[in-house]
Structure 1
Amino acid sequence: MTKTTLYIARHGKTMFNTIGRAQGWSDTPLTVVGERGIKELGVGLKQFDLTFNEAFSSDSGRTIQTMEILLNELGQIDIPYTRDKRIREWCFGSLDGGYDAELFMGVLPRIYGTETEFRNLTYEEMANGIMEADTAGWAQPWDVIKERILSGFTDIAQKIEAQGGGNALVVCHGMTISTLVYLINPDIPKQSLDNGSVTVLTYENGQFTVDIVGDMSYRAHGAEVLDGRV
């Protein structure tokens, strides 16, 4: 059986990404710069002759828009495509749409103490802090976040595996991808994932392995092709 590999891309840069607002379950479209970045990614993936059995994204507009660009650039618009709400971004509740700096540099440090650096918080602590600050009651507890993300990706991998293995293309969100990586291998340091970066997982014998996190080489190569530098 061919091994199962998930190529997980973070969506293209959006309006909220550009002005530094927490997007969560709220949504804004890709900017012109964001569309160009995903075009670069699609061209780069195609240059490496990557083909995909199926495509998957969250049900957020920004991931759907990203996937449409990618499949067009890959020339693979006819492969099966599933939208799964389980691989949405974290929900920030009433903090959705607020400025990133206020959430991560203000709200969370105020909850855990002014000397707390939010990057040192565990994902569970971040989830608990967001729930405490959320006045709408929409934010999800850590147990719900980790279960939906892990089950969503496990089902994707098992579906591809049941077909004999191969590659799946997945588009989702920065914190969703980072959380998944942590759940698979907690020893991998946290890192901020760029728009259009690719994280690669393999799935064999019921286990995920993290091969690479936040790879920007596909985008870089695609940019060179589009700019006529190669």
Structure 2
Amino acid sequence: MSERLLVLVRHGQSEWNLKNLFTGWRDPDLTALGVEEAKKAGARLKAEGYQFDIAFTSQLSRAQKTLDLALNELGQTDLPITRDLALNERDYGDLSGLNKDDARVKWGEEQVHLWRRSYDVPPPGGESLKDTVARTLPYYVTEILPKVLQGNRVLVAAHGNSLRALIMVLEKHTPETITHRELATGAPVIYRLKADSTVESITDLAG
């Protein structure tokens, strides 16, 4: 029987994560810790005996580098990789590049919290989580899910919010509960799917 394996990995810590900046579609590199997190993700998957047939990532270098480092640990540097902006992080618009504490001073704690944690309120010039779902989910349904259901073992390295869009469907979250679903950097989450595309089991390799 085909395995129907889907593994999601959030990129390792980026330079702007470290500096507490809104990142979105901006393209900072991984920190030294982020590099280690990416390598550790690959090492964890290797230790559990996982191998992959195809990988997907965003058009942002922190996700691409995380994927490359993980695949190097897995000994799968020649794996086919598809890069698409549909898997990019949520676009934070006018907040991109701003320090989160400075943004709270400028707009107030409550407003910034609403932009960051509500489901459908976008920051100025940017995307809400709902907008990110509308961008990411169709790509999952048309490009990633069919590969999984065909029996391919699929690895996706992307971002906190683009992965939440997938997790919303996989784990059957509501608009209220998905905003509280945390994803550790560099921690693989492993889904085995049934033939009808619903989840049979979840294994979280965080920690």
What is the TM-score normalised by the length of structure 1? Answer: 0.76
Give the aligned residue type for 1:151: P
Q: 193-202 or 48-57: which moved more?
A: 193-202
Count of aligned residue pairs for this structure pair:
202
Residue 137 of structure 2 corresponds to: 150
Q: Which has the larger radius of gyration?
A: 1
Q: 66-75 or 202-211: which moved more?
A: 202-211
Q: Identify if the C-alpha distance between structure 1 residues 71 and 17 changes in structure 2 by more than 3 Å, giving closer, same or farther.
A: same
Contact 1:202–1:209 (CA<8 Å) still a contact in 2?
A: yes
The alpha carbon displacement at 1:141 in A equals: 5.7
Residue 164 of structure 2 corresponds to: 178
Residue 96 of structure 2 corresponds to: 96
SS in structure 2 of the partner of residue 207 of structure 1: coil
Give the aligned residue type for 1:148: R
Contact 2:20–2:100 (CA<8 Å) still a contact in 1?
A: yes
For structure 1, the 5+ residue unaligned runs are 218-230
Establish whether residue 204 from structure 1 lines up as the match of residue 194 from structure 2: yes
Q: Distance in 1 between matches of 2:104 and 2:54?
A: 35
Percent identity, please. Answer: 26
Q: Deviations over 1:9-33 (max 9, x none)?
A: 0001110011111111001101111
SS in structure 2 of the partner of residue 35 of structure 1: helix
Q: Identify if the C-alpha distance between structure 1 residues 158 and 98 changes in structure 2 by more than 3 Å, giving closer, same or farther.
A: same
Contact 2:91–2:127 (CA<8 Å) still a contact in 1?
A: yes
Q: Distance in 1 between matches of 2:157 and 2:35?
A: 14
Residue 30 of structure 1 corresponds to: 30
Q: Distance in 1 between matches of 2:50 and 2:137?
A: 25
Q: Distance in 2 between matches of 1:120 and 1:60?
A: 20
Contact 1:12–1:196 (CA<8 Å) still a contact in 2?
A: yes
For structure 2, the 5+ residue unaligned runs are none
Give the aligned residue type for 1:159: K
Contact 1:111–1:129 (CA<8 Å) still a contact in 2?
A: no
Q: CA RMSD in A?
A: 2.8
Contact 1:16–1:23 (CA<8 Å) still a contact in 2?
A: yes
What is the TM-score normalised by the length of structure 2? Answer: 0.83
